[in-house]
Structure 1
Amino acid sequence: MSHGVPDADADPFRERSGPAFSVRKQLLGGDFRFDSASAALLQVVEAAYAGLPPHRLPVAAPEFRIELRLLPRQALPRRTEPPPVRMQSGAGLICGVMDASNYVVLAPAQRQALVVASEDMLDQPYHLRYELVEFAVFTLATRELGLVPLHGACMGRQGRGVLLLGASGAGKSTLALHSLLHGLDFLAEDAVFVQPESLLATGVANYLHVQADALRHVDDRTARDWLERSPRIRRRSGVEKFEADLRQSPGQLAATPLALAGAVFVSAEAADDADALLSPLRTGDVAARLRTDQPYASTQPGWDRFEQQLIRRGVHELRRGRHPRDAVAALHALLAGSH
Structure 2
Amino acid sequence: MNLHYLILAHTQPAQVRRLVDRLLGPNTYFYVNIDASVELQPFIEAFRGSPPEVNLLSDRERYATSWGDISLVDATLNLLRLALATDKDGYCILMSGQDYPLRSNQRIRNFFQQRPTTNYLESFKLPTKLWCRGGMARINDYKFNLSGQREDCVVIPPIFTRRFFRLGVLKRWTKALARGKLIAHRKLLRRRKFPAYLEPYGGEHWWALTTDTVKDVLAFLIDHPDYRIYHEDTVLVEEIFLHSIVNHLYRDRPERIAPKVTYANWNEESESGPVNFRLQDLDLIKGLSPSFLFARKFDQTEDAEILNALDAYRGEVSV
State TM-score, norm by structure 2: 0.25
* Structure (1/2) with the larger strand percentage: 1
User: Could you say which structure has the larger radius of gyration?
Assistant: 1
* Structure (1/2) with the larger helix percentage: 2
Larger RCO: 1 or 2 (CA < 8 Å, sep 6+): 2
